[in-house]
Structures are given as C-alpha cells and as structure tokens.
Amino acid sequence: MLLLECPWCGGRNASEFAYAGEPMPRPDPESAGPAEWRGYLYLRANRCGWTRERWYHRAGCRRFFEIERNTQTHELRPVGGGAGGPDE
Amino acid sequence: MSEPNAGAPAPVARGPIRPPGPTRVEAGWEAGGQRRDGPVVLVDHTPLAKIQVKAAYDGEAARILGVPFGRAVRGGVGDLVVGSGPGEWLALGPPGTQHALRGRLDGALAPAAARELVTTVDLTHGRAMMRLTGARAAEVLTMLCAIDLDDRRTPDGTAFRSLVAHLATDVIRDDRDGMPSYLLHCETSSGQYLFDCVVDAGREFGLVVSGP
C-alpha cells in the first residue's frame, strides 16, 4: 500500500488519489509551436529516482498538491513551500 | 412496496434509500419505518436540509462560519455546520427547512460575498445521508473505512471525507447523548449502495435499521 501525505487531510491510502503527472509549465499559447505542445502533452522525464509529482485527492479534500516521490523506493517527502497545501 | 395510506398526503420527494417499513410523509418526504432500538442503529436521514457553502478557506466567509476544515459544530447558522473540505462547508437543518436555511446562510455571509466569491447550493435532493449510532458504531465503520476512528484521532465533532465502501463519503462524528454517532453523506445515486454496505458490515454487531 502506498500511503500519500495529503497536505490537508494527512496520510491516506493512494487509492483515494488520482495521479496527475509531473508538473510542467504550460507553454505560452501565443508563441508555442507544435513540437512544444507535443512535449507538454505527451513527453515525460519518467526518471528513476526522486521525481516531483502532482496528485489529486479525489476522495478527500479534492485539492491538487505536489509531492516528491522516489520512483525506485516509493519513499515520499513533502515539497518545500507546501505546494497545494494550506501553507502555500 | 407498501400501499399508500388512503387520504394521506402524497410525498413530494423520495430518497434513494428504500424505507424499511410502512411509509408516512414528513415535510414532503416519504419517510418510513418505526423507531427501533439496538446495539447499533442505522437511520436514513436523507430528508435533512443540506446546504453547501463554498468560499476561500481563509477568507471572510470562513471567519463568519467559524468552522475549520475537519470539524463539525452544532449551533450557529445551521443545526450542524461541517467543515467538509478546504473552503467548503455543509450546513444541515431539519427536513423541509432548506430554503430558510439557505436564506439564513446568504444573509449571514452577505458581508463576505461583497468582497469574495461565496456560493451556497441546496444539495438536499442531490445527496443521501444516514446516521450510524451505537457503542460499537466505530467498529462497523472500521470494516468499510481505512481512517483511524479511535476517540483520540476522531473525537466528537470531527469531520472528514474518505472512501467508505470504496465510495467518497463525508463522515461526521456527531455523538448523540454521549453515544458515538456518525453521519454519512454521499451522492444520492450511491445512497442505497452505501446503506446496504453499512447494513452488511453491521450484521455481526446486531445492527438494526430504524425509522427517523
């Protein structure tokens, strides 16, 4: 079981959450070309090790938040600044 | 299905949960079943007035309501005001009072609405609600929900939203006469399913379905 630490609700089973992917800056619609949009929509780093992820607590507070997860060990750590939480 | 009583008023609304016995009409709602007692009692409270408030979680409306996320407080604008999410509240009142309750909320929140986005929505007919009461009510819920329901973690006045029987459900600890009691609040379409799951889970604890 993967226990995710929601900044609002505390530790909850990962089945309560929806994975929302790696946070990526949205391209500027005025200047972005097809290649940039393709990269934004489809290409992910998918790295082995520490990665920053967005999750949606769909069965709880219904908020998006960011967390760092080690994709090799499933170790979790909060993102500095409480992104998505009450302290952001 | 029970026969309607001759001469009795026709119900305006029916909840999603099948009444456990002969029905009557209360505040326009079809209510059913006699009051029964048992070690753990489950009652359908869908007709309760339910008004959802949304606003900034740390704004003026939050200060007026005075109920933080994760807590439920009796008194104030509604019979029970629940901090059901960050920037989201649920105010409950007796059956048939939803229009008055929403009016009271709009009035109380008017100073905040002048400065921030505040919405009040009547969810009375869109949600199901049931109350599980009894000394072993927490044990029944534990079979369906992964949250720690120990008194030290979820005392009276605690509210949270989590999966109950794999269904996103608001759980509100609202003890009655010193007896542990939980209100369960979910979408109308899932009401009968959740009710049946609680009945199944409570069978070994002597759960009894009662009328309101």
Residue B9 within a domain: no
What are the DSSP calls for A13-65, one per residue? EGGG-EEEE---PPPPTTT--HHHHHHHHH-----SSEEEEEEE-TTTT--EE
Q: Are residues B92 and B55 in the same domain?
A: yes
Which residues span the domain enclosing B166?
A: 23-46+126-210
**B91 sits in which H/E element:** strand B88-93
From the list B58, B85, B146, the residue facing A61 with the nearest CB is: B85
Q: Are residues B131 and B206 in the same domain?
A: yes
Using one digit for the tens of pLDDT, what is the confidence trace for B149-193? 999 999 999 999 999 999 999 999 999 999 999 999 999 999 999
Number of residue pairs across A and B with CB atoms under 8 Å? 34
Task: Tell me the nearest-neighbour CA distance from A16 into chain B, angstroms.
Answer: 7
Q: Are residues B56 and B109 in the same domain?
A: yes
**Nearest chain A alpha carbon to B70:** A9
Cα–Cα distances (Å) from A26 to A38, A51, A67, B111, in that order, read 11, 18, 19, 36
CATH number at residue B163: 3.30.1360.120
Q: Are residues B36 and B87 in the same domain?
A: no
Domain architecture of chain A: domains with CATH: 3-78 (3.30.2270.10)
Determine whether the interchain pair B146/A13 forms a contact, defined as Cβ–Cβ distance below 8 Å: yes
**How many structural domains does chain B have?**
2
Question: What predicted TM-score, i.e. pTM, was given to this entire model?
Answer: 0.89
Contact call for residues B211 and B20 (beta carbons, < 8 A): yes
At B1, the pLDDT band (50, 70, 90 cuts) reads: very low
CA torsion through residues A61, B70, B188, A14, sign: positive
Q: Are residues B69 and B143 in the same domain?
A: no
Question: Where does a domain end: B65, B87, B122?
Answer: B122
Question: Where does a domain end: B76, B104, B122?
Answer: B122
Q: What is the distance between the alpha carbons of residues B132 and B155, in angstroms, rounded to a whole number? A: 15
Structure tokens at B9: 């008023």
CATH number at residue B93: 3.30.70.1520
Mean pLDDT over A32-58 rounds to 93
Using one digit for the tens of pLDDT, what is the confidence trace for B37-91? 999 999 999 999 999 999 999 999 999 999 999 999 998 777 899 999 999 999 9
Q: pLDDT at residue B145 above 60? A: yes
What ipTM is given for this predicted complex? Answer: 0.85
> Taking all residues of chain B, what is their mean pLDDT, rounded to a whole number?
92
User: At CB < 8 Å, which residues of chain A contact B?
Assistant: 8-9, 12-13, 15-16, 58-63, 86
Residue B3 within a domain: no
At A88, the pLDDT band (50, 70, 90 cuts) reads: low
